[in-house]
């Protein structure tokens, strides 16, 4: 057995049955070994597609996603995906080939300092120098990726290590003296948290991506206490979007009810979320009335990083929420709910009916048709925010988007990973014409594996979110955002890949088209031609506070529009 076969055997030992990857020179020994391996390989058309698919696979399944690339350009194409997985705390292991050790540092063909370059974009990375270290290093990589605050780990294998004869053992122990994540919250801090909640007049619960694994416990805690729940963009699905205690997401494009509740809350319990600037707005003005912030996170470095935290709880969201659910009492907060209900009733997420097709109604129609029984992905931009606002996620791990990094182009590769993680489920990629064109080569991957993904391309002919900012903050100087003059015919493009393509322009045909898309057995791309004037509202401008929230499109409020 050579190193390459040992890599695959060690991956099998870690429970890997699926790898997303693209071969090339220095990883060829491992691809050769793959030829005889039971591990399934999904050939992507660009390494970025591979790592995004592995990321979505991890998020949709709760397992570690694995991707593979060759040295130099192949490995560098993983960089964006690694940072994306890092910021959204996703367990991914990236396997890369490198030039032989005798060539490292000589500017060899397809050589790059991948370990150096990926250090800041991974939770940890390794280069394997001795063939017999392969099982131990991979065991450590999977352990680091999947425990504590999950994250991406890259393991780099010089070609000679893959080719060397393996004589080591696969029975390895992980011993990382500097890495001991804390899962159980400190009992005294939990007591203090419960005391603070009991005293609270206006409490809220905010849950983030870290709570995706704790949905049952979060629901139990929320129902027991009757606390209003605000999932962040990454937390959507960790608490049901149709639940009466659900207020919608907070932040830049969050609901009025959620942002006002944060502004007026006296006590905030945050679980598995990190007070990102898109959530807080201007941090000095965030939650001005909250005298007590209780922050539960498995990463101690997140606690106290951005907001003053009265009660820090270092621990796993699931464990802590479970403990809190056992001990918490019903909160007497009728007055608070009355206030919140006023906000909710007065300012729900809404759009004004127009004669033309709108993104919001397309998303709403798919939600109604599926009743939320779908795994949904998106690119980044207006369509992403519309999806977060109008698709109600009732189940965890059912909404896969790029929150922290805001990576345009993730929608399609995310859908590929989700489809492979959750076979038999409906997978919808709500995408934008800008985002989609960043990774559309993965249509080939969809075709090759006949993945029944429903791509709903909301084409407004612009980089819509940039255009919206130009509209509001740059005196409508629409610099370099116009795409319509050079966009392809997306339905034809799909057909060119052998994928069913449908174009929808007529609003009246929305319902039947949605039905047709969902009923199609196999992949389908629906291009919905929507109007470019739509903006995402409410909106809190960058650096603003909840009080600066723009609730409705100001252009419409003054009857403007061009």
Partner 1 sequence: MRHVVSVLVQDNPGVLQRIAGLIARRGFNIESLAVGRTHQEGLSRLSLVVTGDDSVLEQVEKQLNRLIEVIKVTDHSEPHVERELALVKVHVAGLEERMELKDIAEAFRARIVDVAKKSIIFEQTGNSQKVEDFINALRPYGLLEVMRTGAVALSRGEQVLKVREKKAV
Sign of the CA dihedral running 223, 224, 227, 229? negative
Closest-CA residue to 452 (of 379, 391, 525): 525
The binder of partner 1 chosen from 73, 105, 120, 348 (CB under 8 A): 120
Per-residue burial over 370-384, b if 16 or more Cβ lie within 10 Å, else e, is bebebbbbbbbbbbb
Q: Does 477 bind partner 1 (CB under 8 A)?
A: no
The binder of partner 1 chosen from 244, 288, 304, 488 (CB under 8 A): 304
CB closer to partner 1 out of 214 and 440: 214
| 462 tagged catalytic | no
User: Residue 352 corresponds to which tokens in the numbers above?
Assistant: 């004004």
Instruction: Select which of 20, 47, 386, 442 is catalytic.
Output: 47
| 509 tagged catalytic | no
For the bound state, the minimum distance from the C-beta of residue 48 to partner 1, rounded and expressed in Å, comes to 22
For the bound state, the minimum distance from the C-beta of residue 120 to partner 1, rounded and expressed in Å, comes to 6
Q: How many whole angstroms separate alpha carbon 25 and alpha carbon 162?
A: 12
The binder of partner 1 chosen from 1, 176, 496, 511 (CB under 8 A): 176
User: Residue 134 corresponds to which tokens in the numbers above?
Assistant: 């392969």
Instruction: Select which of 159, 202, 392, 454 is catalytic.
Output: 159
| 159 tagged catalytic | yes
Q: How many whole angstroms separate alpha carbon 35 and alpha carbon 180?
A: 37
For the bound state, the minimum distance from the C-beta of residue 466 to partner 1, rounded and expressed in Å, comes to 27
Cα end-to-end span (Å), the chain: 68
| 170 tagged catalytic | no
| 206 tagged catalytic | no
Closest-CA residue to 362 (of 395, 325, 387): 387
For the bound state, the minimum distance from the C-beta of residue 486 to partner 1, rounded and expressed in Å, comes to 38
For the bound state, the minimum distance from the C-beta of residue 303 to partner 1, rounded and expressed in Å, comes to 8
Instruction: Select which of 110, 163, 201, 441 is catalytic.
Output: 110
For the bound state, the minimum distance from the C-beta of residue 16 to partner 1, rounded and expressed in Å, comes to 21
338-357 residues in contact with partner 1 (CB under 8 A) are: none
Q: How many whole angstroms separate alpha carbon 528 and alpha carbon 513?
A: 10
Q: Are 517 and 456 in contact (CB under 8 A)?
A: yes
Q: Does 115 bind partner 1 (CB under 8 A)?
A: yes
182-221 residues in contact with partner 1 (CB under 8 A) are: 182-184
Mark the segment that binds partner 1 (CB under 8 A) among 8-16, 18-26, 117-125, 554-562.
117-125
DSSP secondary structure, 421-438, as one string = HSTTS-EEEEEEHHHHTT
DSSP secondary structure, 403-417, as one string = -SS--TT-HHHHHHH
The binder of partner 1 chosen from 62, 168, 181, 541 (CB under 8 A): 181
Q: How many whole angstroms separate alpha carbon 518 and alpha carbon 453?
A: 9
406-465 residues in contact with partner 1 (CB under 8 A) are: none
Beta bridge partners of 233: none
Q: How many whole angstroms separate alpha carbon 392 and alpha carbon 248?
A: 9
Instruction: Select which of 87, 234, 438, 465 is catalytic.
Output: 465
Mark the segment that binds partner 1 (CB under 8 A) among 5-13, 56-64, 170-178, 279-287.
170-178
Q: How many whole angstroms separate alpha carbon 18 and alpha carbon 390?
A: 33
Q: Can you give the binding site for partner 1, defined by CB under 8 A?
A: 115-116, 119-120, 123-124, 127, 144, 176-184, 299-301, 304-305
Supply the residues annotated as catalytic: 47, 109-110, 159, 465
């Amino acid at each position: 057995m050579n190193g390459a076969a040992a890599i695959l055997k060690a991956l099998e030992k870690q429970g890997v049955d699926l790898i997303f990857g693209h071969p090339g020179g220095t990883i060829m020994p491992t691809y050769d070994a793959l030829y005889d391996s039971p591990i399934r390989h999904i050939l992507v058309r660009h390494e970025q597609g591979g790592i995004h698919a592995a990321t979505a696979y991890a998020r949709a399944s709760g397992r570690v996603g694995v991707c593979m690339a060759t040295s130099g350009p192949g490995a560098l194409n993983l960089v964006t995906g690694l940072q994306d997985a890092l910021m959204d705390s996703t367990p991914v292991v990236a396997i890369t080939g490198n030039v032989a050790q005798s060539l490292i540092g000589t500017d060899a063909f397809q050589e790059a300092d991948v370990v150096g370059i990926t250090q800041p974009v991974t939770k940890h990375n390794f280069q394997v120098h001795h063939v017999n270290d392969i099982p131990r290093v991979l065991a450590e990589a999977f352990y680091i990726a999947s425990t504590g605050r999950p994250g991406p780990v890259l393991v780099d294998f010089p070609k000679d290590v893959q080719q060397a004869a393996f004589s080591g053992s696969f029975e390895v122990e992980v011993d990382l003296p500097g890495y001991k994540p804390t899962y159980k919250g400190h009992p005294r801090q939990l007591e203090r948290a419960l005391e603070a909640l009991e005293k609270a007049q206006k409490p809220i619960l905010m849950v983030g991506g870290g709570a995706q694994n704790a949905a049952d416990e979060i629901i139990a805690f929320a129902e027991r206490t009757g606390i209003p729940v605000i999932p962040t963009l990454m937390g959507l699905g960790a608490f049901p979007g149709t639940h009466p205690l659900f207020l919608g997401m907070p932040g830049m494009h969050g609901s009025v009810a959620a942002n006002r509740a944060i502004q007026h809350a006296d006590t905030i319990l945050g679980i598995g979320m990190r007070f990102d600037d898109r959530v807080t707005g201007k941090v000095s003005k965030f939650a001005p009335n909250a005298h007590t912030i209780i922050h539960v996170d498995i990463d101690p470095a997140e606690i106290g990083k951005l907001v003053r935290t009265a009660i820090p709880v270092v621990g796993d969201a699931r464990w802590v929420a479970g403990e809190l659910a056992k001990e918490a009492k019903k909160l007497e907060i009728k007055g608070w709910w009355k206030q919140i209900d006023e906000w909710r009733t007065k300012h729900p997420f809404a759009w004004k009916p127009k004669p033309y097709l709108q993104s919001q109604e397309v998303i709403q129609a798919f939600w109604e048709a599926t009743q939320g029984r779908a795994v949904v992905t998106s690119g980044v931009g207006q369509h992403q925010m519309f999806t977060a606002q109008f698709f109600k996620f009732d189940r965890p791990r059912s909404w896969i988007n790029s929150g922290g990094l805001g990576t345009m182009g993730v929608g399609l590769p995310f859908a590929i990973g989700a489809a492979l993680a959750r076979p038999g489920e409906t997978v919808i990629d709500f995408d934008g014409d800008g985002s989609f064109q960043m990774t559309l080569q993965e249509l080939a991957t969809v075709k090759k594996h006949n993945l029944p993904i429903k791509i709903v391309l909301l084409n407004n002919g612009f980089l819509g979110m940039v255009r919206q900012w130009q509209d509001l903050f740059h005196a409508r100087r629409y610099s370099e955002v116009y795409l319509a003059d050079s966009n392809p015919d997306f339905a034809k493009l799909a057909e060119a890949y052998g994928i069913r393509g449908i174009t929808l322009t007529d609003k009246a045909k929305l319902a039947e088209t949605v039905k047709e898309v969902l009923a199609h057995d196999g992949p389908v791309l629906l291009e919905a031609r929507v109007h470019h004037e739509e903006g995402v509202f409410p909106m809190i401008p960058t650096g603003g506070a909840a009080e600066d929230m723009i609730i409705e499109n100001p252009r419409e409020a003054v009857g403007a529009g061009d």
